[in-house]
């Protein structure tokens, strides 16, 4: 089985951070999102991996040269192609195996893909959308008995006897799916609709166990760090950082004792270069981020090149 990471997005909801760095390389708990996606695929035994790029693609290329997990890079040079166009552009790579797994780079996962693949292979579906069952406010409809996909709220009235689920930005596809793609496809949702209308077998693979979070906004970027402090998940974190769940904070192991008093609840700090008397709470501070003496930092994400506020 092959893997493909969708990493070409502009990351507009994360501006101004993504004016300086592609969304794929934004760090979450000390590791770039793309590194986490590659590590997830590698742990699932997927070694033939493709990644697409567009925005600030030169930075992704530099990352590839140093990556411990090798991958093929598909640079969408002239224009961004969306999910449908990105897969069409990479179809020769994806066609080399019977099955391939596609995931968005801005989703953090901690679940076991192997049993989901095993269940998918028992079906005749060409596509299996990974989703979490929800009651109301879902992003897709499906038949709870057949588990067949029934559309999205944006273009489909809620079918009778349907259930709702939240798509987690990942899907399994059989090789035959590539024949359904057209050169003009951009969004993947119309492709799913085309499959459903033609009776080509598109289902929903429910993820019952594990953790996932979309990192598409400053609020969600901060929230995944706070989830770690609350013990809701256990993402891999560099050895240089220490998570103190009792005090709801994270800091470099080598942070001087006198500076720990700067850290309030829900402070995730990756730099030891803190000025005296600053106060940090409900915030993320990356390495090499500039901080002023006696500065009060609350509900902010501070990077080396800019900062954003979130929440109230």
What does the pLDDT look like over 19-31, one tens digit per residue? 999 999 999 999 9
What pLDDT, on the 0 to 100 scale, is given for residue 52? Answer: 95
Exposed (0-12), middle (13-18) or buried (19+): which is 141, by Cβ within 10 Å?
buried
Domain map (residue ranges) of the chain: 2-213, 217-309
Six-digit token string for 150? 């029934």
Half-sphere exposure of residue 129, counting CA atoms within 13 Å on the CB side? 30
Share of the chain above pLDDT 90, in %: 70
User: What architecture is the 2-213 domain classified under in CATH?
Assistant: Alpha-Beta Complex (3.90)
Radius of gyration of the chain (CA): 21
Distance CA(41)–CA(50), nearest Å, equals 11
**Separation of alpha carbons 93 and 274, rounded Å:** 47
pLDDT number for residue 308: 94
DSSP class of residue 72 equals E
At residue 76, does pLDDT exceed 90? no
pLDDT in tens, 89-116: 999 999 999 999 999 999 998 888 999 9
Per-residue pLDDT reduced to its tens digit, 229-254? 999 888 889 999 999 999 999 999 99
């Amino acid at each position: 089985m092959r893997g493909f990471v969708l990493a070409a997005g502009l990351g507009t909801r994360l501006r101004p951070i993504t004016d300086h760095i592609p969304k794929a390389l934004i760090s979450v708990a000390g590791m770039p999102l793309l590194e986490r996606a590659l590590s997830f695929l590698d742990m699932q035994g997927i070694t033939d991996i493709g990644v697409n790029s567009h925005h600030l693609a030169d930075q992704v290329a530099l990352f590839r040269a140093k990556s411990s997990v090798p991958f093929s890079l598909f640079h969408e040079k002239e224009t961004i192609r969306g999910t449908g166009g990105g897969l069409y552009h990479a179809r020769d790579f994806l066609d080399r195996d019977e099955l391939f797994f596609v995931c968005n780079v801005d989703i953090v996962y901690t679940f076991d893909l192997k049993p989901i693949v095993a269940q998918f292979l028992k079906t005749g579906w060409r596509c299996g959308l990974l989703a979490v069952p929800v009651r109301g406010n879902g992003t897709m409809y499906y038949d709870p008995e057949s588990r067949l996909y029934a559309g999205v709220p944006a273009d489909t009235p809620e079918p009778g006897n349907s259930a709702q689920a939240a798509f987690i930005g990942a899907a399994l596809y059989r090789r035959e799916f590539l024949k359904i793609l057209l050169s003009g496809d951009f969004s993947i949702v119309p492709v799913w609709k085309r499959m459903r209308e033609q009776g080509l077998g598109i289902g929903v693979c429910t993820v019952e166990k594990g953790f996932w979070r979309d990192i598409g906004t400053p609020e969600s970027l901060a929230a995944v760090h706070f989830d770690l402090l609350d013990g809701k998940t256990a993402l891999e974190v560099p050895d240089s950082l220490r998570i103190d769940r009792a005090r709801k904070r994270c800091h470099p192991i080598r942070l001087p004792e006198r500076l720990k008093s700067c850290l309030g609840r829900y402070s995730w700090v990756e730099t030891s270069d803190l000025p005296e008397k600053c106060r940090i709470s409900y915030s993320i501070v990356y390495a090499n981020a500039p901080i002023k003496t006696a500065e009060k930092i609350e509900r902010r994400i501070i990077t080396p090149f800019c900062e954003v506020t979130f929440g109230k």
